[in-house]
Amino acid sequence: MPKTVVGLFENRGLVGRRRPRDRNACFPRKEVRTLTEPASFEVTGVMSFPRLDFEVGLKRALTRIGANKAEAQAFVGGLRRGGVLVFATGSDERVEAAADI
């Protein structure tokens, strides 16, 4: 069963430049997704707090794929400071190799 690994790049310019030395850490392009903080947040109702709604939803998604609460908070904080989250999905071997990068 595929797993997903998440990485935070504090510098947007580094995304895509990092080339793993281990071929097992390589992922097909279609299995890699990036996420930056939206420029604007959608208002979903009268009691909507758009940025908070986005961050709570992201934390839930991160914990569903295996991050603990502290890690999820750190990823959201990094995104808030202008970072980029990179999600890569693949075999256990690839995910473990990528996590070491």
Q: Looking at the chain, which runs of residues are DSSP E strands?
A: 3-9, 32-35, 84-90
Tens-place pLDDT, residues 11-61: 776 676 555 444 445 677 777 888 988 888 888 777 778 889 899 999 999
SS3 62: helix
What is the C-alpha separation between 96 and 101, in angstroms, rounded?
9
Q: State the pLDDT confidence band at 69, using cuts at 50, 70 and 90.
A: very high
What phi, psi does 5 have (nearest 5°)? -110, 145
Number of domains in the chain: 1
Tens-place pLDDT, residues 86-99: 888 877 777 777 66
Q: What is the pLDDT of residue 17?
A: 57
Sort residue 87 into left (φ over 0), alpha (ψ -120 to 50) or beta: beta
Buried (b) or exposed (e) across 32-61, using 16+ Cβ within 10 A?
beeeebeeeeeeeeeeeeeeebbbeebbee
Structural domain for 21, as ranges: 3-99
pTM (whole model) above 0.85: no
